[in-house]
Structure 1
């Protein structure tokens, strides 16, 4: 896909910037501000081309729009992507500080139409640095007045999504089921722990030896990353990067439920249809992983207490129940049903604004 094709996008705004000193590209895409200022995390990663970074930012921003709408949060969808010249771990501290300073400048130029928070390869400490020069930041450390990491709240929501999906699929509780968790980071590791506590048998995969060593010590079965998509399980929980389920993968996946924390799990529009035809229940990622948005927006924008945030994250299971009910009634995919819910809320807000 060329840059021209990537820029043919239905979102509201695309901002790009290049820094010659560090070799980093900055991409910010605002998908929608219908429900409020756009919001979405800052992802720092290597990309093969600029158009790949643009495409990823656009897909992620669109997912944020849906996530905010389905979660009934007063924000729109956006995303930041920092395309790095080397792996994050190999970027020297001086260059990383400069990258964050430039990112903060970009946020200030958007003047509140977009707010950001942590994502892949960024954390609360990075948000603290951004906050030194911009106020349009979520997820600062607790010491700096922020809500801290949203990882546990995200994991709680994903766990509730897994439970709701297993129940709807007729599998009953998680006790005795085989759950395969791909990615044992801050979110995936907590999802695995919650599922294990519920009695599930855990299969886990990751590229980090330390995480795998910890998983083995807990009694989980470690599988090779290359075997993830061909290993039989009851529930597949993708908690790493997105785009793992292509149409081909969907045609061969050996599980009953897909519910995880990764964004944009489905690599193409046909994958969801294939899963649906095969009787594999897919929990739309922008519903299942909304706990992070609930945590950050709830605590830092709406002033919710920790208990309220927890209740809303647990409520993701009920939200999925509504999605599945629409899907069943209309013989549509769960993703189409969830998008219908999101569109309905946007329409309500638009109609209310016109009426006012």
Structure 2
């Protein structure tokens, strides 16, 4: 905890509902701390805690890069211990409300619309509250920001024009599907994969070419967009990749930080996840501070962030991950 600089770590339990969760608050200066609720299966409480510590720390850097007035946090819920999901989420909401507003949450992997409705019965500390409150969905906000980042990376590789490219999307959840629609509208060819046959069928009706999960990473494409779970870019998959740009929409896209350097050596531009997928954070924090429900210009500024990361990587001859961390650290420390 001290090594990572975390200010608060809370173990949250509710025996009747089976709730077992961690709330990790990396920093409280500036306040509030922003971070979504991740609900996944974990092998142990220790694994869940490690995930929460790592993700909350990254959220602090994400806030800094995105120009968000706030710091990082994350809630991780052990899905495989839950007995009564609505009751568990309500219990979690009571714990979040008890923090007095210093932590503002929102959706993350595994968190559903039904979870949001249950959560908001017990707490108002929800920064991005989705379409029921007049905002676009968190998935659409994330996709909007990622699109701006990808388009800027394409502009910087002048040989790539958006209406001539192929985009390969791994994962057709809310973010992946929204990105597919956006790039189809821009005239790009889109291929995608998802283990959910219903999602694949829906995308196919839009004009997406559906391939297998194994084929999508090795697809003949210009832009590869991992939108499922993290850790997909690693020693085994990197040699298969033909894309010129990898857009890290999924959190923790890389198996290890060192893989960013391997991609650079292969002349592949990796767009770091914590720089690229900040659309929902930006929109949610903007609403928290102003009560306005949209901020398209601020989300579009993700394109500027990606340009700064790519330029720093090129000028300093470092990986884009190292460049993004360096830029974020400078903003955090004010240097």
TM-score by length of 2: 0.92
Instruction: Give the deviation of 1:313 after TM superposition.
Output: 1.3
Q: Contact (CA 8 Å) 1:138, 1:146: kept in 2 or not?
A: no
The alpha-carbon distance between structure 1 residues 302 and 248, as it changes in their structure 2 partners (threshold 3 A), is farther
Q: Equivalent residue of 1:269, what SS?
A: coil
**Separation in 1, partners of 2:110, 2:289:** 24
The answer for the alignment partner of 1:77 in structure 2 is 72
**Separation in 2, partners of 1:275, 1:324:** 13
**Separation in 2, partners of 1:183, 1:62:** 25
Report the number of matched residues.
335
**Separation in 1, partners of 2:134, 2:69:** 18
The alpha-carbon distance between structure 1 residues 313 and 148, as it changes in their structure 2 partners (threshold 3 A), is closer
**Separation in 2, partners of 1:54, 1:117:** 19
Spell out, residue by residue over 1:121-152, the C-alpha distance to the aligned partner (whole angstroms, 9 max, x if none).
22455334323322322233555x56452221
The answer for the alignment partner of 1:3 in structure 2 is none
Within the alignment, does 1:214 sit opposite 2:202 as a pair? Answer: yes
**Separation in 2, partners of 1:234, 1:289:** 19
The alpha-carbon distance between structure 1 residues 128 and 139, as it changes in their structure 2 partners (threshold 3 A), is farther
The answer for the alignment partner of 2:86 in structure 1 is 97
Q: Equivalent residue of 1:301, what SS?
A: helix
The answer for the alignment partner of 2:326 in structure 1 is 340
The answer for the alignment partner of 2:57 in structure 1 is 62
Q: Which runs of 5 or more structure 2 residues have no equivalent in the other structure?
A: none
- Which shows bigger deviation, 123-132 or 19-28? 123-132
Within the alignment, does 1:331 sit opposite 2:313 as a pair? Answer: no
The answer for the alignment partner of 1:21 in structure 2 is 16
Instruction: Give the deviation of 1:342 after TM superposition.
Output: 1.3
Instruction: Give the deviation of 1:11 after TM superposition.
Output: 2.6
The alpha-carbon distance between structure 1 residues 300 and 9, as it changes in their structure 2 partners (threshold 3 A), is closer
The runs of 4+ residues in structure 1 deviating greater than 6 Å are: none
Q: Equivalent residue of 1:44, what SS?
A: strand
Spell out, residue by residue over 1:284-343, the C-alpha distance to the aligned partner (whole angstroms, 9 max, x if none).
11111111111111123233453xx11111221122111111111111111111112211
**Separation in 2, partners of 1:249, 1:10:** 33
Equivalent residues in 2 for 1:1-356 (5 A)? 9-85=4-80, 95-141=84-130, 143=132, 145=133, 147=135, 149-304=137-292, 306=294, 309-348=295-334
Q: Equivalent residue of 2:80, what SS?
A: coil
The alpha-carbon distance between structure 1 residues 148 and 122, as it changes in their structure 2 partners (threshold 3 A), is farther
**Separation in 2, partners of 1:62, 1:169:** 31
Instruction: Give the deviation of 1:251 after TM superposition.
Output: 4.2
Spell out, residue by residue over 1:156-188, the C-alpha distance to the aligned partner (whole angstroms, 9 max, x if none).
111111111122234322212111001111111
- Which shows bigger deviation, 99-108 or 154-163? 99-108
**Separation in 1, partners of 2:159, 2:28:** 39
RMSD of equivalent CA atoms: 2.2
Q: Which runs of 5 or more structure 1 residues have no equivalent in the other structure?
A: 1-5, 352-356
**Separation in 1, partners of 2:52, 2:238:** 24
Q: Contact (CA 8 Å) 2:141, 2:280: kept in 1 or not?
A: yes
TM-score by length of 1: 0.87
Q: Contact (CA 8 Å) 1:152, 1:190: kept in 2 or not?
A: yes
